[in-house]
Amino acid sequence: MDAYVALEGGHVVEARGRVPGSTPGELVFTTAYTGYEESLTDPSYEEQVLTFSYPLIGNYGVREERFESDRVHPNAVVARELTDEIVEWLDEEGVPAVDHLDTRDLVTDIREEGAMKCGIAVGEGVTEQDALDELDACKGMSEHTDIGAQVSVDEPAFSEGAADGVDADVTLIDCGAKGSIVDSLNARGADVQILPYDATIEDVAETEPDVLFISNGPGDPANFEQTVELVDHYAGELPLAGICLGQQIVARALGGSTAKMDFGHRGVNQPVMDVRTNRVVMTTQNHGYTVADPGENLEVTQFNVNDDTPEGLDNEELEIITRQYHPEANPGPNDSLDFFDDVLAMADPTADPVIADD
């Protein structure tokens, strides 16, 4: 099956087609060598073309219990080699896929030139021009202001916590939440009310939460204006927590600013330093934007060892705690799971969380 990947700047890479289809998207890469099921079902990859830097993807099969959502989110998948089992899954999902190309070269291009627009064409008889046409379509696209609607729940949902643990009610604003975030809160006893990304101040008030939690998600935090307004309203009234996009939204609401990174952080080995303890933890990350300036209301408590970008923001007086990385991992190291204990301690400072057995 023929396949071509047209890169921003005009270069076209020939590949082997595994799943037919044509699509534009933003070409990004992850350095994770396991956890491909979790990565592919992570809503933060919405509208992107995901390149795996590890050469063999699919070598331990596909198991639904590892999924972070109910579907594959990238527009297309690029790898050095894909197994037949993962190709079958991507085919069922209708996600174009290619392999037998030099992903090392692609990753080098992205690191040197930044995440770039691309076009992919896969199928019998497709040509370079078909991929270039997809690239042209991608160049004409602006950053989606409605991307939250593509990844958020349509209606409120509820997830009950374990019988043992913290007696807390968490309202999670779903901007594209990974399922393991809810699982991590439930495992510690918290009940989680999940609201759509465009929930109103009144919607949150009706849930009577002990903690307001802003999830991860795709795209530019500037597109989540209503969520920013929620945080602005409830800051100082409710304990607030956020992960990834959630940290960026909280920063914008409290007077900070955000910016797009050259190629982002996507992988499971990002080192993060805690300025209070001088402890370094390894973290899982997936984001293309960062907090450029936290403003005067948030303290940077953790930073990325590689590039000094903010990884943790706190305000003890306002009871705010956020992380840029994914403490729930899945995939990745479990070094930072205690973040969820810290979040729930804001709901009940006397609680000693008990994590339920899986």
Domain that holds residue 215: 147-347
Annotated binding-site residue? 44: yes
For the whole model, what pTM was predicted? 0.95
Asked if 99 and 172 sit in the same domain, the reply is: no
Annotated binding-site residue? 4: no
Annotated binding-site residue? 288: yes
Distance of alpha carbon 111 from alpha carbon 138, whole angstroms: 20
The domain boundary, picked from 83, 113, 139, lies at 139
Residue 356 lies in a domain: no
Count of structural domains, the chain: 2
Annotated binding-site residue? 306: no
Residues forming the active site: 244, 326, 328
Tens-digit pLDDT string for the chain (358 aa): 999 999 998 899 999 999 999 999 999 999 998 999 999 999 999 999 999 999 999 999 999 999 999 999 999 999 999 999 999 999 999 999 999 999 999 999 999 999 899 999 999 999 999 999 999 988 766 566 789 999 999 999 999 999 989 999 999 999 999 999 999 999 999 999 999 999 999 999 999 999 999 999 999 999 999 999 999 999 999 999 999 999 999 999 999 999 999 999 999 999 999 999 999 999 999 999 999 999 999 999 999 999 999 999 999 999 999 999 999 988 889 999 999 999 999 997 666 655 544 4
The domain boundary, picked from 87, 121, 139, lies at 139
Distance of alpha carbon 197 from alpha carbon 174, whole angstroms: 5
Distance of alpha carbon 123 from alpha carbon 249, whole angstroms: 40
- Indicate which CATH number applies to the domain containing 71: 3.50.30.20
Asked if 157 and 67 sit in the same domain, the reply is: no
How far is the CA of 11 from the CAs of 24, 106, 129, 296, 315, in angstroms? 15, 11, 11, 44, 47
Annotated binding-site residue? 312: no
